[in-house]
Amino acid sequence: MKQTLGLIVGNRGFFPDELAREGREKMIAILERMGFEVVALTPQDTKFGTVETWEDAQKCARLFDENRKKITGIIVTLPNFGDEKGVAYAIRHSGLQVPVLIHAFPDRTSALDVKNRRDSFCGKMSVCNNLRQFGIPFSLTSFHTEDPDSEDFREDMKWFAGVCRVVQGFKNVKVGAIGARPNAFNTVRFSEKMLEGYGISVEVADFSEILGKIGRLKDNDPLVQQKVKEIKDYIDTSSVPEGALVKMGKLKLVLEEWVKETGVSLLALQCWTSIEENFGVMPCTVMSMFSENFIPSACEVDVTGSLSMYALQLASQKPSALVDWNNNVDDDPDKAILFHCSNFPKSLLQNARMGFGDIISSTLPKENAYGTCYGMIPQGPLTLCRLTTDDLNGVTGYIAEGEITGEKLETFGGVGVAKIDALQDLLAFICERGFEHHVAINLSLVGDTLVEAFDKYLGFDIYWHGVE
């Protein structure tokens, strides 16, 4: 979706007005070329469409308030020193609680005369000082001053857009929890009330409700057959009985209807081993299809695991998976095997094919365990994210980056080898802080995006591995 940003162009009377006019026009043109919709004052509203006076700030605040449903972030740009109070009042009185990026134009040493000097370098400090006093959180560009035409600024805008997506995505989000937590999995306990305090709601369904609706569907129902076709088109099902595929088609149909009815944006489903015993398939492929279509789906009713997947997805605009921290890699201290049965989205698997749950089928009939997704995680960049609820510290989590090495393993399920610097320190942190054995992964490098969104704007207590 196209993102909309509010733009505040700072100005100060005894600095060159012409620089403010040029700066506004340049910034709007560049942001629009990058694909953003821009909400900003016009030259008909204030002098050159900038914010300088109390009256300017009120006009800007009203404009932003009128567009509050679509503005996901605010850019403050300073073509000259700018009026720090005007900027602060415009943001405060808009009532918007969105990420704010502070940008300053660079001076040139060849143009430091009265008519051409910007002093934005200095003005940026004054704006930040006032925002700090006003209690308004803000983000900074990589360099103190940046030309909007530079690659540095473009990269900063991509990063900031990700921060805005994460913050916006977590506002009033609803998680779907279907079924009871497996009794053996104390590790995925969470505090529903705590999440509600952060604006995250949980919609709950007993799995008997889902199975009841499935039981009323006929095998030859055109809608069921359409879902079976979607599954066959999605993944290689050549080794799977038709009866199992029909069950998956019914499950997919009912879950899609429930998602639409409840308005949830992500899912956490019961598994291991109730659904296999009582329904006769594994839900992995159905969950994989949801995740591939940007409705992250976690197994074992790991609600905070699904939120971790969702955060990575918002930051990267790519599907995420939930994996087990599963095995060491011989004697290499910086490598670990990431594994699940699996329900990984297809884009996180090479040569994806449907199989059966090798571990579950050791205690249940193989016929009850079809539905898993086999394949290797492709080589490439990796970000790992884990959120959890801590009764003493609120929502906490950790972020790490590394790579999938592409090493081949003779095993089953979805699997890959991750290489992470100082992995042993991270593993010790996970154990000492009591984090879950599940972690969300995404084939991108978006750790800094998540840390900024979580720590600065959402109020989560986050450990940034390798940085802190």
By mean pLDDT, which of 375-379, 409-413, 450-454 is the weakest?
Answer: 409-413
Query: What would the mean pLDDT of 207-217 be, rounded to a whole number?
Result: 96
Query: What would the mean pLDDT of 192-197 be, rounded to a whole number?
Result: 97
Identify the structural domains of the chain with CATH numbers, from first to last. 4-169 (3.40.50.10940), 174-464 (3.20.14)
Helix axes 284-292, 242-262, angle to 10 degrees: 50
Answer yes or no: are the C-beta atoms of 401 and 420 closer than 8 Å: yes
Answer yes or no: are the C-beta atoms of 377 and 318 closer than 8 Å: no
Per-residue pLDDT at 363: 86
Give 16's pLDDT tier (boundaries 50, 70, 90). confident
**85-116 exposure pattern, b = at least 16 Cβ within 10 A, e = fewer:** bbbbbbbbbbebebbbbbbbbebeeeeeeeee
Query: What would the mean pLDDT of 113-127 be, rounded to a whole number?
Result: 93
Answer yes or no: are the C-beta atoms of 271 and 306 closer than 8 Å: no
Calculated CA dihedral for residues 49, 51, 57, 61, nearest 10 degrees: 50
CA nearest to 450, candidates 435, 434, 437, 439: 439
Query: What would the mean pLDDT of 78-87 be, rounded to a whole number?
Result: 95
Task: Write down the residue that tokens 């991750």 correspond to.
Answer: 418
Indicate the SS3 state at residue 265: coil
pLDDT digits (tens, 9 = 90+) for 426-442: 999 999 999 999 999 99
Compute the radius of gyration of the chain from its Cα atoms: 25
Indicate the SS3 state at residue 175: strand
Largest CA distance in the chain: 83
| Percentage of the chain exceeding pLDDT 70 | 100
Query: Across the chain, what does the average pLDDT equal?
Result: 96
Write out the two tokens for 223.
């809608």
Sheet holding 100-104, edge to edge: 37-40, 4-9, 71-78, 100-104, 139-140
For residue 455, with 0-12 CB atoms within 10 Å meaning exposed, 13-18 middle and 19 or more buried, which class applies?
Answer: middle
Residue 418 — φ and ψ, nearest 5°? -105, 140
CA nearest to 450, candidates 120, 166, 248: 166
- Report whether pLDDT(467) > 80: no
Report, in this order, helix, strand and coil percent for the chain, each rounded to 5: 40, 25, 35
Write out the two tokens for 447.
């750790």
Write out the two tokens for 5.
């940003």
Answer yes or no: are the C-beta atoms of 270 and 240 closer than 8 Å: no
By DSSP bridging, strand 174-178 and strand 438-442 are: unpaired
Residue 129 — φ and ψ, nearest 5°? -60, -45
Per-residue pLDDT at 361: 86
Answer yes or no: are the C-beta atoms of 458 and 170 closer than 8 Å: yes
338 Cβ contact partners less than 8 Å away, ≥ 6 residues apart: 323, 324, 325, 326, 377, 404, 415, 416, 417, 418, 439, 441
Between the alpha carbon of residue 353 and those of residues 207, 227, 342, the distances in Å are: 27, 17, 11
For residue 55, with 0-12 CB atoms within 10 Å meaning exposed, 13-18 middle and 19 or more buried, which class applies?
Answer: exposed
Per-residue pLDDT at 47: 95
DSSP 111-149: --STTT---HHHHHHHHHHHHHHHT---EE-SSSS--TT
Beta bridge partners of 340: 414
Between the alpha carbon of residue 241 and those of residues 57, 228, 244, 280, the distances in Å are: 66, 12, 6, 12
Indicate the SS3 state at residue 14: coil
pLDDT digits (tens, 9 = 90+) for 269-282: 998 888 999 999 99
Residues 409 and 378: their CA atoms lie apart, in Å, by: 12
- Report whether pLDDT(266) > 60: yes
Residues 148 and 28: their CA atoms lie apart, in Å, by: 10
pLDDT digits (tens, 9 = 90+) for 382-392: 999 999 999 99
Residues 316 and 440: their CA atoms lie apart, in Å, by: 13
Residues 27 and 43: their CA atoms lie apart, in Å, by: 15
- Report whether pLDDT(77) > 60: yes
- Report whether pLDDT(468) > 70: no
pLDDT digits (tens, 9 = 90+) for 329-375: 999 999 999 999 999 999 999 999 999 998 888 888 899 999 999 99
pLDDT digits (tens, 9 = 90+) for 142-154: 999 999 999 999 9
189 Cβ contact partners less than 8 Å away, ≥ 6 residues apart: 181
| Percentage of the chain exceeding pLDDT 90 | 93
